[in-house]
Amino acid sequence: MRSTKSLCPECLAIIDASIIEENGKMILEKTCARHRYFKDIYWSDPVQFKRFEQYLHDGGGVLNPSGSNGNCPHSCGICTSHKTTTILANIDVTNRCNQAYPVCFANASASVILRTIPYPDKAMMQLLRNEKPVPCPAVQFAGGEPTMRDDIVEIVKMAREFDFTQIQIATNGIKLSRSLELYRQLNDAGLHTVYLQFDGVTEEPISRTGASMHFPST
Ligand SMILES: [Zn+2]
Ligand SMILES: [Zn+2]
């Protein structure tokens, strides 16, 4: 259907890739000269893929790149290779979690070293808001589980001071479901979106991964 550039998942070399339609799916296929042939589902619905392709738009680039050599993604800051400024920034505020979920997108249960970004990390948010020509409008605090931090409300307040128009937390929702007070504090601090993960209503999709569900009792 069309060709593009992609990364070798083994060595991160930038390699040619093709997007093709096959058996009712959009497939991304690529071959790294040093490694092998890779093939993955890119979009599960070709109709939706073609619909979204109509809106494909390249921006004019970043006027004040932080990494200037264009060697993306190896020394990106963001660099001169980017067509737009950051749209949604993810800031991992901790890798602690109150769940050991086998299909966590951050693979938090596999972490052995606990990390928490220093607080207050204004420099990170300032860098995003300084991007030109369009300041980064949206930030999502992720982890780990961001509500494991006692100062998550303060972090949201800080984002509000930087005038992000969209402030999100990516959370498993456990602490929020048990504390209306925490919800109120986050809401008052300026949180716009609680971004939840949903994998199914039964254990089956999880057990198919070979893992088992484990919810903490407290
Ligand atoms: Zn490779
Ligand atoms: Zn880059």
How many CB atoms lie under 10 A from the CB of residue 85?
22
Distance CA(67)–CA(88), nearest Å, equals 19
Residues 92 and 178 in one domain: yes
Q: Are 70 and 81 in contact (CB under 8 A)?
A: yes
In a domain, 166, yes or no: yes
CA of 11 to the centre of ligand 1 (A): 4
CB atoms within 10 A of CB 100: 15
Question: In this structure, which amino acid lies at residue 170?
Answer: A
Structure confidence by residue, pLDDT tens digits, 111-123: 556 656 665 578 8
CA of 60 to the centre of ligand 2 (A): 14
Residue 68 CA to ligand 2 centre (angstroms): 9
Collect residues with CB below 5 Å from ion ligand 2: 72, 76, 78-79, 81
CB burial readout 50-79, b (16+ within 10 A) else e: eeeeeeeeeeeebeebebeeeebeeebebb
Cα-to-centroid distance, 91 and ligand 2 (Å): 17
- Indicate which CATH number applies to the domain containing 106: 3.20.20.70
Ligand nearest to the CA of 37: 1
Phi first, then psi: what are they for 44, rounded to 5°?
A: -85, -10
**Host domain of residue 189:** 88-207
Q: What is the DSSP letter of 43?
A: E
Gap from CA of 182 to ligand 1 centroid (Å) = 46
How much is the pTM?
0.78
The number of distinct structural domains making up the chain is 2
132 and 181: one domain?
Answer: yes
> Does a structural domain hold residue 59?
no
What is the SS3 assignment for 116?
Answer: strand
User: Do 19 and 126 reside in the same domain of the chain?
Assistant: no
How does pLDDT run across 135-192, given as a tens digit for each residue?
999 999 998 899 999 999 999 999 999 999 999 999 999 999 999 999 999 999 999 9
Q: Would residue 64 count as lying in a domain?
A: no
